[in-house]
Structure 1
Amino acid sequence: MDIDMAKVRREQIRWILVLALNHARPYGAQESVLLGAVQGLYTDATPLEIRRELGYLEDRCMVELTKAPYGPWSAELTRLGVDIAEYTVDCNPGIARPAKYW
């Protein structure tokens, strides 16, 4: 069985973003802070990669993005994003949320 490492990376980055934004509540965070959080695991992560995965999370209604036309983005978790982070709802495929063990 072949492992798609690009898929694993994308899904783990999404989970890191959800966790980072959960810790930033109720204020949210700018993309530079989120990039730093992701670079704790993936040192080669790029701002474009962060924006792409934030866009994915926005499409799934898990984050609300504020996109400055010529500046940084900022993000906040929605109610669904908080519920995913707190394990109160099921997490559909696409995010590498670990299984609940407690």
Structure 2
Amino acid sequence: MDNIDFEKAHREQTRWRILKVLDAGRPLPVSELVISQALDDATLGLTPNTLRRELTYLSDRKLLTIHGRHAAVWSAELTHFGIDVVEYTVDCMPGIARPKKWY
């Protein structure tokens, strides 16, 4: 029987959902407060620190740009590569739970 790493699956699902929220907010940056509210019903149990950790991860992967890192509230927007990942025009790297393309 395979062991499922629930924490890893949770992180990867959170990252995908963040990318989808930012895609819905394009072309404007989306505040972390809006991202948190949008993901609140997804039962992800995001803390502000967890959200910032995942935003930083996605920024390090060049999928999004973070604005206001030294301000009280961050905002983020997708890079062209992040848009391509969300739109399934490029392969998705490990670490993000992008569903398989069904169409």
Shorter-normalised TM-score: what interval? over 0.9
**TM-score normalised to the size of structure 2?**
0.94
- Aligned-residue CA RMSD in angstroms? 1.1
Counterpart of 2:102 in structure 1 is 101
**Cα offset for 1:69?**
2.3
The one-letter code sitting in structure 2 at the alignment partner of 1:97 is R
Counterpart of 2:29 in structure 1 is 28
The one-letter code sitting in structure 2 at the alignment partner of 1:50 is L
The one-letter code sitting in structure 2 at the alignment partner of 1:29 is V
Q: Which stretches of structure 1, 4 residues or longer, exceed 3 Å deviation after superposition?
A: none
Counterpart of 2:79 in structure 1 is 78
**Could you say if the C-alpha distance between residues 43 and 17 of structure 1 is closer, same or farther in structure 2, counting changes exceeding 3 Å?**
closer
Q: Deviations over 1:17-73 (max 9, x none)?
A: 000000000002000111112212125211111100000000000000012424100
Counterpart of 2:57 in structure 1 is 56
**TM-score normalised to the size of structure 1?**
0.95
Q: 1:51 & 1:68 partners in 2: Cα distance?
A: 9
The one-letter code sitting in structure 2 at the alignment partner of 1:61 is K
Q: Deviations over 1:3-29 (max 9, x none)?
A: 010001100000000000000000020
> Which consecutive residues of structure 1, in runs of 5 or more, have no partner in the other structure?
none
Structure 1 residues 10-29: aligned runs within 5 Å:
10-29=11-30
> Which consecutive residues of structure 2, in runs of 5 or more, have no partner in the other structure?
none
Counterpart of 1:65 in structure 2 is 66
**Could you say if the C-alpha distance between residues 68 and 59 of structure 1 is closer, same or farther in structure 2, counting changes exceeding 3 Å?**
closer
The more displaced of 73-82 and 36-45 is 36-45
Tell me the SS of whatever aligns to 2:88: coil
Counterpart of 1:3 in structure 2 is 4
Maintained 8 Å contact 1:16/1:37:
no
